[in-house]
Structure 1
Amino acid sequence: MGQTVRTLAYGAWPSPIDAALAAAHDGHPEWVGLVGDEVWWTEPRPEEGGRRTLVRRHHQEVGRQAPRWRGGGGRRPGGTEESLLPAPWDVRSRVIEYGGRPWAALAREDGPLVVFVNFADQRLYRYRPGGTPRPLTPVSPVGAGLRWAEPLLRPERDEVWCVLEEFTGDGPSDVRRVLAAVPLDGSAARDRGAVRELTDGRHRFLTGAKLSPDGRRAAWLAWDHPRMPWDGTELILADAGSDGTLRDPRTVAGGPGESVAQADWTHDGRLLHSSDRSGWWNLYLDGEPVCPREEEFGGALWKLGMRWFTPLDSGLIAVVHGRGATALGVLDPETGEVVDAAGPWTEFAPDLAAHGERVVAVAASPRSAYEVVELDAGTGHARVVGAGHDDAVDPAYYPEPQIRVFTGPDGRDIHAHVYPPHHPGCVAPGDELPPYVVWAHGGPTARAPLVLDLEIAYFTSRGIGVAEVNYGGSTGYGRSYRERLREQWGVVDVEDCAAVARALADEGTADRDRLAVRGGSAGGWTAAASLTTTDVFSCGTIKYPILDLEGWGAGETHDFESRYLDSLIGPLDEVPARYAERSPAAHADRLAVPFLLLQGLDDVICPPVQCERFLARLGERPVPHAYLAFEGEGHGFRRAETMVRALEAELSLYARVFGLNPPDVPTLELTR
């Protein structure tokens, strides 16, 4: 017997997707790898203080019972998943604050040898499953200490090679970065002098080294202020001596106006890299284009160790590629042909690993959260092998997204995902238009992927629409689209979000009087700028934002992004007035609509002082608002209780402003 459909106002639809459920499914598997026959990855634990554990899928003999796979066409391989490290161990690096690959492992007859970075102290540890982790690196009393990323195990030298980030003072920019070799015997655990430096620190930033198959050459990426890695990087090649040194480093590709996103070696020792010299991140083999297309085979290097491609032993190359959404394919460098993996996934993260013809990736779709997927490059068969998606509620409550292209100022394209209100058992009165929230992604050099997000479902299943805007400056659409934001941050992003909101209202999709904007980090900036410079939105949610450019650009943030504003706004010493003109904090007196401000008190990227200064400049003006600050949270919330409180507060804001009546949601008290 079919479900009875009820007519209820938008925002009053009862939903099984509550804030606790959304929080429990926040985050996704990351940093996949193959250790012998086993697939390993890191996985979030929101209910355990937001830590990340290292997960191992034990191999199981064929013929043993395997669980059914949601995808409908196959089964997961046999095996069981094991969390290797109990709380409070947290496998996460803080290099450049956004982190990097935090673990490496080798299969051995007596069990795997593992090294990993622990978040709390940022020390590198050696670990054998079943044993106790042993520190390999010391604690430094200087500044933020010593940090490590992209470990490369070199058992033949009894070393692990890493990126070392070393603070030399108390300031966020008192830091140097080098490639370094750490002894595996633990002799450096109390002796910084036992860490052997492999590079001279001439570059401000660098990625981990990739060794050629014969071990005689090493390649890595480097760049310097004021560039960000998507502006311009250098591909550096050096000779690797038998004594464990790196000699004669030289730049072989890249430069100030060319971004090399990744480099690696083919099975026969040829250097492969992705570069956007053509306007798109494409692949180059020994400097020659492999598959020239107007789509991306690379992306913005926000974390050290991101991988959009991985060479296979057969000579083929596994690639994550696309224009907007991404696919997993196998590229034949001889013909330039790419054959994509079949399956239900519509988005692949830049997180690949391979052994032989086995490729492991992290993938999702609008009907499934991110899960670990294995592709057999020989047969083309793909299947879920870990962190498999299980429907926590009836999928009938999931949103049904639309891929849209809107027209912005000057006729420019604006890419967006529109998620209309959706509920299997509810409709709104025929004459009512739904409220909509425009989501501005962070970065801003990033992109909103088209994947199942229970935070979006939390709103759409209650009758509130969501529109994710990949505004000008977003990745995935070529360098020219990305550079629309050059010196135009706070203008183009704001215009594009407003244009999408207006278009939804003009076409009768959204209620013009019930539009909101929300975003976190750079998206928080866009949300705040939208509220202070446009009259499109009736309220907004601003999460861990940038609000005052002058303060943020003059030392209030971390080293990695400390010169980001040179390209987004312009150099501070050349256009100081622009910093004040664009800052939401400078225009707090224009704010006339309610807002919610959410902030982590341990955030060193967008520190709490940004919010505090904004509220101080708001003064005694009677603008309804709430400021929720969370102890123990940094940039981006990871603890389940924080995410629940933030999500319920956001819904309560919309209920107050839009006149909604959501059931069972705590009331947010607004200050005037």
Structure 2
Amino acid sequence: MTVAPFGSWSSPITSALVLEDSVRLGGLFVDGDAVVWEEARPAEGGRVQIVRRAPDGTLTDLLPAGMSARTAVHEYGGGAWWVRGGVLWFANWADQRLYRLWPGAVPVPITAPPATPRADRWADGDTSVDGTSIVCVRECHGGPGATGVRNEIVRIAADRVGEPEVLVSGPDFVAAPRLSPDGARMAWLQWNHPSMPWDDVELLVRDIATGAQTVVAGGRGESVGEPRWQPDGALSFLSDRTDWWNLYRWLPHTGVEPVVHTGADLGVAAWQLGMSRSATLEDGTVVFARYRDGRDGLAVRTVDGTIRDLDQPFTALSALCAAGNAVVFVGGTPTSAAGIYRLDPATGELTVLRRPPEFGIELGYLSVPEHLTYPTGAGAEAHALFYPPTNPGFTGPDGQLPPVRVQVHGGPTGTGHSSLKTSYQYWTSRGFAVVDVNHRGSTGYGRRYRDALRGAWGVADVEDCMAAVSWLAARGRVDGARLTISGGSAGGYTALAALAHKDTPFAAGTDRYGVADLEAFVRDTHKFESHYLDGLIGPYPQRRDVYVERSPITHIADLTKPVIVLQGSEDAVVPPSQSRLIVDALRGRGVPVAYLLFDGEQHGFRLGANICRALDAELSFYGQVLGFELPAAEGIDPVEVENLGR
């Protein structure tokens, strides 16, 4: 074993290998005997391909070159396609029009081109039983800024361009229109500013013939999601009315009754449309994903009401879908990337439908996370996943401890999962520890924990990040003099706020498209998040003083640590102006700073070359500011760090 400084270890987990793991799987549908899913492929310019698996295992890419099944509804998308009877409907990224694709044919648009390109956006659809019509979400951009956007549910012909019939209009946001098996009812979700879908959401059902409507669940203080009709006419849905997102069902003559009640979250924050965390099988068995202590698990509720965990290795689960008396899902483990599987819960038989990528990496290079619960501000507790440095060929010098990279998720309602992330292993295999912080406000720990960030963004999350590294350093697990913090989007804001804190313990940090000026963010961001900060900070402009006080740019005099800033040029969520603001301020004050602006990227990097460059540039940056050499054999191009050595 070679003794070498932490951070300088050679590793087979390169940025090119991380790129192989960047293919995102999701959006499962079972269509007869076939299984259909989406693959977001960075190597193909980030486009989303739809893949069909025939019963004999044959895989077929359905979309022709130049088309991508991705919607810009809410800017975060999701629910961009659906399938019935072999026919695919999808929103195409380039023009945002809705297309129909018959088997063996070419895609044909079924929505008219808007007056302004990409002004009409479509998502989250459901096809009628007879296949003649579709109900879906339409987002119309008819004017400048967030106030010029209208969200509604419409009905359109499934096979030709026609005039949409508006079914639901008025609420600020609508989602998940779902038709009952007999076509007599439609369920949907709706909410209004300043609420977000994890705050206050209503679930409604309309009798299509009479127009009579029923509020099934939701309202003030209750988040409802994932409505899904069952063969017996019941409507299942998730609700957090008892702190946890658990499963319920509704029938007109019996009302709402619980299906799964457990002290764990079945749901996740609905940043995207079309998510699915449970599936009801033909025999009435319910298979569901539940998050507990930093990891997902599969569980089952049998028809007699018994709930039991399934003995399966998966720690990250999504896109659950019924396939007869089996369930199909996307699943990953701490040592394997995401794949697609079919599981018979009665027998335990597991079939691989889409193998996860096989990187040829020895298990000895993979750091398996440990779930931490530790004390933080105001006498509260916070949570994190700790990945120790791991490399079978290297060890650090005697008496030295590893540097740490705190990872702050987005949202800030996201959450860290203990599934394989080669982007984390890139760091741990080089001698860094990684701490994936699930600060107050994260999902997966119940509504009360999620609501603990209300009015406290920029305070509680920063406290939890600083408390995590202080707790680890006090126990001799990381080097308290070489603490770094990295975050994207909302996590980028937390990283900047932590670096600008007067008592910051961090020696350097990474800002990926984070918010530097909260006032500017409120003015410039898109409709979906235009009132998000009302709950996280306070109503604007009434609490303008708080917005100013909690903006990292306000405390630029205290931000003296080196920062690398990574930004997409076409980001509509956090515009490039936010990154330029912090970079210009650091340049002007002589603080070491590196800045990379990636042309053509939106909110989050999707192009293969940019994913690789961002990761390697960040490693080069930390090597320069923390003082370790990168392995020459890896050929990593150094990033320019301005003001270094001043």
Bin of the TM-score, shorter chain as denominator length: over 0.9
How much has 1:371 moved relative to structure 2?
A: 1.1
Does the CA-based 8 Å contact 2:129-2:181 persist in structure 1?
no
Partner of 1:524: 492
Partner of 1:314: 283
Asked if 1:30 corresponds to 2:22, the answer is no
How much has 1:334 moved relative to structure 2?
A: 4.2
Q: Supply the distance in 1 between the matched residues of 2:476 and 2:492 (Cα, whole angstroms).
A: 27
Select the residue among 159, 162, 170 that pairs with 2:136: 162
Q: Supply the distance in 2 between the matched residues of 1:144 and 1:187 (Cα, whole angstroms).
A: 16
Secondary structure at the counterpart of residue 587 of structure 1: helix
Aligned residue identity for 2:262: R
Alpha-carbon spacing, 1:374–1:210, altered in 2? closer, same or farther (3 Å): same
Secondary structure at the counterpart of residue 247 of structure 1: coil
How much has 1:333 moved relative to structure 2?
A: 5.6
Q: Supply the distance in 2 between the matched residues of 1:252 and 1:621 (Cα, whole angstroms).
A: 57
How much has 1:648 moved relative to structure 2?
A: 0.8
Q: Supply the distance in 2 between the matched residues of 1:12 and 1:226 (Cα, whole angstroms).
A: 47
Q: Which deviates further from its counterpart, 155-164 or 221-230?
A: 155-164
Asked if 1:84 corresponds to 2:62, the answer is yes
Residue correspondence of structure 1 range 366-405 to structure 2 within 5 A: 366-405=334-373
Q: Supply the distance in 2 between the matched residues of 1:433 and 1:377 (Cα, whole angstroms).
A: 45
Does the CA-based 8 Å contact 1:204-1:223 persist in structure 2?
yes
Deviations 1:358-385 (A, max 9, x none): 2111111110111112122443323321
Q: Supply the distance in 1 between the matched residues of 2:207 and 2:164 (Cα, whole angstroms).
A: 20
Q: Supply the distance in 1 between the matched residues of 2:304 and 2:447 (Cα, whole angstroms).
A: 26
Q: Supply the distance in 2 between the matched residues of 1:179 and 1:134 (Cα, whole angstroms).
A: 22
Aligned residue identity for 1:43: E
Secondary structure at the counterpart of residue 623 of structure 1: coil
Q: Supply the distance in 2 between the matched residues of 1:452 and 1:577 (Cα, whole angstroms).
A: 42
Partner of 1:332: 302
Q: Supply the distance in 2 between the matched residues of 1:88 and 1:250 (Cα, whole angstroms).
A: 43
Q: Supply the distance in 2 between the matched residues of 1:619 and 1:454 (Cα, whole angstroms).
A: 32
Asked if 1:645 corresponds to 2:613, the answer is yes
Does the CA-based 8 Å contact 2:97-2:118 persist in structure 1?
no
Secondary structure at the counterpart of residue 466 of structure 1: strand
How much has 1:651 moved relative to structure 2?
A: 0.3
Partner of 2:81: 103
Does the CA-based 8 Å contact 2:125-2:177 persist in structure 1?
no
Asked if 1:58 corresponds to 2:54, the answer is yes
Q: Supply the distance in 2 between the matched residues of 1:228 and 1:333 (Cα, whole angstroms).
A: 34
Does the CA-based 8 Å contact 2:411-2:489 persist in structure 1?
yes
Does the CA-based 8 Å contact 1:143-1:167 persist in structure 2?
no
TM value normalised by structure 1: 0.91
Q: Supply the distance in 2 between the matched residues of 1:378 and 1:121 (Cα, whole angstroms).
A: 45
Asked if 1:608 corresponds to 2:576, the answer is yes
Deviations 1:512-565 (A, max 9, x none): 1111000000000010001001421110010011111111112x1110111110
Q: Which deviates further from its counterpart, 14-23 or 626-635?
A: 14-23
Does the CA-based 8 Å contact 2:484-2:506 persist in structure 1?
yes
TM value normalised by structure 2: 0.95
Asked if 1:113 corresponds to 2:113, the answer is no
How much has 1:272 moved relative to structure 2?
A: 1.9
Partner of 1:552: 521
Q: Supply the distance in 2 between the matched residues of 1:407 and 1:38 (Cα, whole angstroms).
A: 49
Q: Supply the distance in 1 between the matched residues of 2:128 and 2:380 (Cα, whole angstroms).
A: 50
Q: Supply the distance in 2 between the matched residues of 1:275 and 1:406 (Cα, whole angstroms).
A: 28
Residue correspondence of structure 1 range 479-628 to structure 2 within 5 A: 479-533=447-501, 534-554=503-523, 556-618=524-586, 620-628=588-596
How much has 1:477 moved relative to structure 2?
A: 0.4
Asked if 1:297 corresponds to 2:297, the answer is no
RMSD, aligned CA: 1.6
Q: Supply the distance in 1 between the matched residues of 2:474 and 2:439 (Cα, whole angstroms).
A: 19
Select the residue among 238, 245, 248 that pairs with 2:212: 248
Secondary structure at the counterpart of residue 269 of structure 2: coil
Q: Which deviates further from its counterpart, 249-258 or 515-524?
A: 249-258
Q: Supply the distance in 1 between the matched residues of 2:207 and 2:127 (Cα, whole angstroms).
A: 18
Aligned residue identity for 2:123: A
Partner of 2:105: 131
Partner of 1:68: none
Q: Supply the distance in 2 between the matched residues of 1:356 and 1:608 (Cα, whole angstroms).
A: 48
Aligned residue identity for 1:104: W
Q: Supply the distance in 2 between the matched residues of 1:187 and 1:122 (Cα, whole angstroms).
A: 14
Does the CA-based 8 Å contact 1:264-1:311 persist in structure 2?
no
Does the CA-based 8 Å contact 2:466-2:504 persist in structure 1?
no
Secondary structure at the counterpart of residue 322 of structure 2: strand
Q: Which deviates further from its counterpart, 606-615 or 219-228?
A: 606-615
Q: Supply the distance in 2 between the matched residues of 1:620 and 1:116 (Cα, whole angstroms).
A: 48
The sequence identity of aligned pairs, in percent, is: 41
How much has 1:84 moved relative to structure 2?
A: 1.8
Aligned length: 633
Secondary structure at the counterpart of residue 570 of structure 2: coil
How much has 1:23 moved relative to structure 2?
A: 1.8
Q: Which runs of 5+ in 2 are unaligned?
A: 251-255
Q: Supply the distance in 2 between the matched residues of 1:134 and 1:261 (Cα, whole angstroms).
A: 32
Aligned residue identity for 2:43: E
Asked if 1:45 corresponds to 2:41, the answer is yes
Select the residue among 179, 202, 211 that pairs with 2:153: 179
Does the CA-based 8 Å contact 2:176-2:227 persist in structure 1?
no
Partner of 2:125: 151
How much has 1:619 moved relative to structure 2?
A: 5.5
Residue correspondence of structure 1 range 471-482 to structure 2 within 5 A: 471-482=439-450
Asked if 1:140 corresponds to 2:114, the answer is yes
Deviations 1:237-289 (A, max 9, x none): 10023xxxx82233221102111122222221122221111111122222122
Q: Supply the distance in 1 between the matched residues of 2:346 and 2:232 (Cα, whole angstroms).
A: 19
Aligned residue identity for 1:604: A
Q: Supply the distance in 2 between the matched residues of 1:611 and 1:262 (Cα, whole angstroms).
A: 35
